[in-house]
A and B are shown apart, each in its own frame.
Chain A
Amino acid sequence: DGGITQSPKYLFRKEGQNVTLSCEQNLNHDAMYWYRQDPGQGLRLIYYSQIVNDFQKGDIAEGYSVSREKKESFPLTVTSAQKNPTAFYLCATRSSYNEQFFGPGTRLTVL
């Protein structure tokens, strides 16, 4: 069953903690993306990776970090430097037709 999985579905973080969001895909897509969505807002790009061991900052990378050690995996770490991390986080892959496909998302809440 091909697709994108994200875990956990809900995550609660205390101020000052780092947390890591998981994203795994078995679509064999090279490119992967992380977006953030705030209530009533559009998607904003955090980081993206077009190939293993390479990634680029998106529009709002400050306070976030990523790694891309395997084609299937693109974890996102939300660090304590991110001042307002409460949001809906979406991971996506891109097909050869430039279409993006999304995982089910992780809702992060800072307590």
Chain B
Amino acid sequence: RKEVEQDPGPFNVPEGATVAFNCTYSNSASQSFFWYRQDCRKEPKLLMSVYSSGNEDGRFTAQLNRASQYISLLIRDSKLSDSATYLCVVNSADSWGKLQFGAGTQVVVTP
């Protein structure tokens, strides 16, 4: 079983709509959680860290559910520029500082 699993999508979203997707992780001892955004043929860029209490950054909201071992990302009022692959990232329990990356969820925002 992979340490981090994501629905690959694509999630096709009309402009202005809301989209949400989850990521599950296998190791209950994981401590750090992040969402990264990756555009086609570019490097991943940090979108936001995910805190235990949940956090919001503009139109983006991240939640952590430790009991069920998943994190979520919600995008409100989707823009065309939100089209990208969103990577879920979790720290590895066997080595501090070694992160495990999900394969990504593709989001396509359409006019």
Contacts and interface: CB of A to CB of B under 8 A. Distances in A.
Interface of A: 31, 35, 40-43, 45, 48, 50, 56, 58, 88, 90, 94, 97-105
Contacts of A41: 103
Given A42-B103, A98-B91, A31 B97 contact: yes
A78 B106 CA distance: 30
Contacts of A58: 98
A99 B49 contact: yes
A6 to B, nearest CB: 9
Interface string B64-101: 00000000000000000000000101010001011101
Contacts, number: 43
B106 to A, nearest CB: 10
A40 B44 CA distance: 14
Contacts of B43: 90, 102-105
Contacts of B89: 100
A75 to B, nearest CB: 18
Contacts of B34: 99
B98 A43 contact: no
Contacts of A104: 42-43
Contacts of B91: 98
